[in-house]
Amino acid sequence: MRASNQDAAFARWRDGAAVLAVADGMGGLPAGERASALVIAAFEGWPRPDEAAEGWLRDGLERARVAVAADVAAHPERARMGSTVVVAVVRDGHAWIAHAGDSRAYRWRGSALEPLTQDHSLAGEAVRAGLLDASVARHSPGRHMLTRAIGAPDSTADFAGPLALDADAVLLLVTDGVSGVLDEREIASAVATRRGAAIARALIERVHAAGAPDNAGIALLDCRE
């Protein structure tokens, strides 16, 4: 799902496996749009059946870093461009996730919404250090100041998995245009009361009802369908 001019997202399913990704470009137009597109393009293929999911994710991240760096080298006016990324490989009832930046992954399981990532932002770092309450961080100027991103000086990604996805699970990836506008209770309500693409539509409707102050990108896999 492409929800804005700087966010890019997709969810693909083939032969019992899935690849999902969202990316949120930074650096202003057109650089932000270009950065998110390059990051998403780095994950267009499929991991081989015998290929470790984390290894495939690491290779994709390296392709993304190389692509963004090469584009900046060719277009110096885009020197500050970069992109967040959350990407997931799903197979055999499990998910493996890589992320850099403040886009997020959630798992709905057992009627509860569970965050699977932690924001790489000044506000996120302050929360983890015990210097800032999470409820305050939602409104802190530091929530938009990224400490990691593809194209930034620190592009280190965090990895998680294997994470179980049973028949009642939903894997949800969103940019901060969703998670920065809606709290987890609102996101959980949309997941609990809808199925599949209707979840994304409900989230976008709620973001627009709140004024849509930022771009919004969503990718999801609903195992309940």
The 10s digit of each residue's pLDDT in 193-203 is 999 999 999 99
The tens digit of pLDDT for each residue in 164-174 reads: 999 999 999 99
Domain residues for the domain of 107 are: 7-118+147-222
pLDDT value at residue 28: 72
Res 3 pLDDT > 70: no
Q: Where residue 91 sits, what CATH number does that domain have?
A: 3.60.40.10
Q: Is the pLDDT of residue 183 over 80?
A: yes
pLDDT tens per residue across span 150-163: 999 999 999 999 99
Give a yes or no: residue 48 inside a domain. Answer: yes
Number of domains in the chain: 1
User: Does 142 reside within a domain?
Assistant: no
Instruction: For residue 45, tell me if it sits in a domain.
Output: yes
Please report whether residue 133 resides in a domain. Answer: no
pTM: 0.91
Q: Is residue 1 part of a domain?
A: no
Banded pLDDT at 8 (limits 50, 70, 90): confident
What is the mean pLDDT of the segment spanning 37-41? Answer: 96
Reduced 3-state DSSP string for the chain: CCCCCCEEEEEEEECCEEEEEEEEEECCCCHHHHHHHHHHHCCCCCCCCCCCHHHHHHHHHHHHHHHHHHHHHHCHHHCCCEECEEEEEEECCEEEEEEECCCEEEEEECCEEEECCCCCEHHHHHHHCCCCCHHHHCCCHHHHCECCCECCCCCCCEEEEEEECCCCCEEEEECHHHHCCCCHHHHHHHHHHCCCHHHHHHHHHHHHHCCCCCCCCEEEEECCC
